[in-house]
Amino acid sequence: MAGWSCLVTGAGGFLGQRIIRLLMEEKDLQEVRALDKFFRPELKEEFSKLQGKPKLTVLEGDILDVQFLRKACQGMSAVIHSASVIDFLGTIQRELIMNVNLKGTQLLLEACVQASVPIFLYTSSVEVAGPNSYKEIVENGCEEENLENTWSASYPYSKKLAEKAVLAANGEILKNGGTLYTCALRPMYIYGDGSPILFGIMNKALKNNRVLSHDGKFSIANPVYVGNVAWAHILALRTLRDPKKATSIQGQFYYISDDTPHQSYDNLNYTLSKEWGFRLDSRLKLPLSLQYWIAFLLEIVSFLLSPIYKYHPPTSCHLLTLSNSVFTFSYKKAQRDLGYEPLFSWEEAKQKTMAWIGSLVDQHKETVKTKTQ
């Protein structure tokens, strides 16, 4: 297995960048191909500085371009597929989400078969499992429970079907007569320095006198630090490449969490930002059941208006459920089969994320200062 190579899709994203950085430290790795539709100039520059023993090739192209995918896969030993359109608010066109998340995954699987790439590791999501109701309680759930999301919302639905396609492809015969081995990782809600979701939350709060919205008060989640999710991908890849260990994880999925304390999303946001003067909104909110029915009515209005006007409600039943459920999972199976232990402690993850939020505060001050001059 010496002299191997790996393609990473979504390499310009929040998680993909971390996977690339860790991959570049792997033994006997000859080449890493970083694929995304677009790379920011500063990230291209950062990647150019990573050039070392493994060759790092940046590929810009569309996940729906069959010829591009086949060329990208040619000569690769493994693929990590982390590219995805993420949509919690229901504001992104359903067709785009289904095309990228499902069709793109199917096309990439076919490209691997045609290019005889034997290993396919998929970045799935905890949303494949749910939650289906804010009244449902799942604490320290495990893979054996076989929970399944029943929402028709584009993001969880597309990820569920894509994961099914990946796991069903395990054992397919490659063009060169070899066999395709697949595996999927289901991370919890991913936080950390550089998180686009956290960036949006903090940016909104900075414009609102550092008051954080109080939308996830009733949730109990186990968020996972981005560096630990990237590390889990490296360990899963190592296991898939080891003939003695690979058979135990082929066609399997794994929940990926870490030792971040189980807490509400509101509490996580406050914990990570309170040092910079952020505070939770103290105003009373409507009971969750009433919020849910209002969201339901707004979704009906949106549907009725859709032929003549695109109305996006400020929230949805799915988002309210996602933000206010007791829904946590154990990483014991990943620990057992992948040898997974978090690379970063909660304290390290917290400090790194807090420092990044501090930099956002400084940037905001500079912007305000510039505008007032």
Q: Where are the beta strands (DSSP E) in 67-226?
A: 78-81, 119-123, 137-141, 181-187, 190-191, 211-212, 220-221, 224-225
The pLDDT of residue 1 is 46
Angle, helices 196-206/346-372, rounded to nearest 10 degrees: 50
Domains, the chain: 4-194+222-261+328-345 (3.40.50.720)
Catalytic residues: 155
Q: What is the DSSP letter of 179?
A: B
Verify cis geometry, omega within 30 degrees of 0, for the bond prior to 223. no
C-beta separation of 262 from 222 below 8 A: yes
User: Cβ of 110: how many Cβ atoms within 10 Å?
Assistant: 16
pLDDT of the chain, 373 residues: tens digit per residue: 458 999 999 999 999 999 999 999 998 999 999 999 999 999 998 988 887 778 999 999 999 999 999 999 999 999 999 999 998 877 889 999 999 999 999 999 999 999 999 999 999 999 999 999 999 999 999 999 989 999 989 999 999 999 999 999 999 999 999 999 999 999 999 999 999 999 999 999 999 999 998 888 889 999 999 999 999 999 999 999 998 999 999 999 999 999 999 999 999 999 999 999 999 998 888 888 999 999 999 999 988 998 998 888 888 999 999 999 999 999 999 999 999 999 999 999 999 999 999 999 999 888 887 777 6
Structure-block tokens of residue 151: 């929402």
Name the 3-class secondary structure at 368.
helix
Query: CA-to-CA distance for 66 and 90, rounded, in angstroms?
Result: 28
Nearest to 234 by CA among 123, 115, 126: 123
